[in-house]
A and B are shown apart, each in its own frame.
Chain A
Amino acid sequence: METSQNILGMLSGQLANAVERVGPALVLVNGRQRLPASGVVFDHELIITADHVLEREEDLSIETHADQTMAAQFVGRDPASDLAVLRVPNLGLDPAPTAAGAARVGQLVLAVGRPSSGGPMASLGVISASGGPLRTRRGAAVDRYLQTDATPYPGFSGGPLVDSMGTVVGILTTGLVSGTALAIPTDLAWQIGRTLSQQGHIKRGFLGIASQPIYLPAAQRGNLTQERGLLVVRVEEGSPAEQGGMLIGDVLVAMNNQTITDTDQLQAILAGGVVGQALPVTVLRGGSVQTIQVTVGERE
């Protein structure tokens, strides 16, 4: 007595197709004591997963959609974005299809994971928020993130958040903010993944200053329009900042031609692959705007 295929049935079929489409690029990751986690093929023989689900860097393995268990090599990890990369020789699986364009708030998404050998699991929701940068006391630092109300079942971390076409919009993790389902947008995750596959870790820029955000009274902004800046309260000896000529009392207002009004913006610039580059740093010094060159060092 079931009715013929209507629009509801078509939507239902499309969601099931989405899970099926991403399935072959979705793997189970064995890297911790308790239950396994998920991972996504993002490049030739390379798998991206969550950093926090790898409790060890040896004796790692994956299981494919075809129930094949394969040894995996640890390639690199980035605790700040909770991403890690594994290499599986002779993997023979195509990278996951990725979504064109940015995810939109309200867009239907599926959280898909492979926490056990019994096939993929999925939950439905929407993109609840799109934001960034995100920084937490526990060390999370990412430029952009997506938030979803799709249920992150145990073992879903490292798996994909896909749209209704089955293309990946982000890599899901509950490790950045405990208990909250966040995803690193695909373009950013893939970029971090490629960097990890080349150098094993993410180089984060280092200036060697301590600073605090301050309000700039109108009379002390020079010809700038911004109301806030970072007051330099310490310059480490021998640091990139000292070598570039930064002084205690300078107010940092821009770097690499990007306005800086708080420390998150400064950290975002330093995390953006600028190690070793000489960047223009704009400061307010004695009421006038000056630009100096600072060669960004690498944070240990």
Chain B
Amino acid sequence: MTTLEIETPVAEDELQPSIDTLLQRVRASVVQVRNRARGVGAGVVWQINGAVLTNHHVVAGERGPIEILLTDGRSYEAHVVASNADLDLALLEVQQVGPGALPLVAVGDSTSLRVGELVFAIGHPWGQRDVVTAGIISGTGRVNIPGYAEPVPYVLSDVLLRPGNSGGPLVNANGGVIGINAMIRGGDLSVAIPSHMVIRWITALERIL
């Protein structure tokens, strides 16, 4: 008969509990965005009134209701309030939800990112729910976008992204969302829209609306 040996940690592990706490908190605010036309993507609960942020390309062309699924199993109907193809951002309004029913994500400072900083991505690659990938900030770049006088910054990271991650958050070591994952460049470079650009876009929308 064989005996099983239970492995004993060499030292008190402090790293894993802090990752657990971080992911548990962020996961509650990450949703799956489903529509009939283009399949599934991810999103984050961005504002107190239940507004959900995702990529434009996740909801582009969708006129009917969009389904929002939370980690805890709740699902809601939502519709597109605003969308910008150049920034690849879309804001969804969730219907029939009371204030505070959707847990808000913490927004981190994306104006002073450092290359090498740890980041986590949460999304639903190929439809698999709540998958976590980790990596670092690989760099930043800038791109010209119509309607913006200055080139718009974007965030590069080496986290593994696949279809279904789009619209999901890129989170720093403090649990703050510093970007919205949008695409993969050259096979292995992940591109995210920095949070401060999201804030600028939403602030400008509010002025118009």
Contacts and interface: CB of A to CB of B under 8 A. Distances in A.
Contacts of A1: 106, 175-176
A6 B22 CA distance: 11
Contact of B138 (A7, A9, A20, A122): A122
B202 interface: no
Contact of B115 (A5, A122, A150, A154): A122
Given A3-B175, A8-B173, A124-B158, A118 B141 contact: yes
Contacts of A119: 115, 139-140
A294 interface: no
Interface stretch (A11-19, A182-190, A261-269): A11-19
A9 B14 CA distance: 12
Q: Which 3 A-B pairs have the closest CB atoms?
A: A12-B173, A16-B114, A19-B116
Chain B interface mostly: mixed
Interface residues of A, number: 29
A41 interface: no
B106 A2 contact: yes
A121 interface: yes
Interface of B: 14-15, 18-19, 21-22, 106, 108, 114-118, 135-142, 156, 158, 172-176, 186, 188-189
28 contacts: A1-B175, A2-B108, A3-B21, A5-B174, A6-B173, A7-B18, A8-B19, A8-B118, A11-B118, A12-B118, A13-B117, A13-B173, A15-B118, A19-B115, A20-B114, A118-B139, A119-B115, A119-B140, A122-B115, A122-B137, A122-B138, A123-B135, A123-B158, A124-B135, A124-B158, A151-B158, A153-B138, A153-B189
Interface of A: 1-3, 5-9, 11-13, 15-20, 110, 118-124, 150-151, 153-154
B112 to A, nearest CB: 11
A12 B118 CA distance: 5
B122 to A, nearest CB: 15
B187 to A, nearest CB: 9
A121 B115 contact: yes
B116 A122 contact: yes
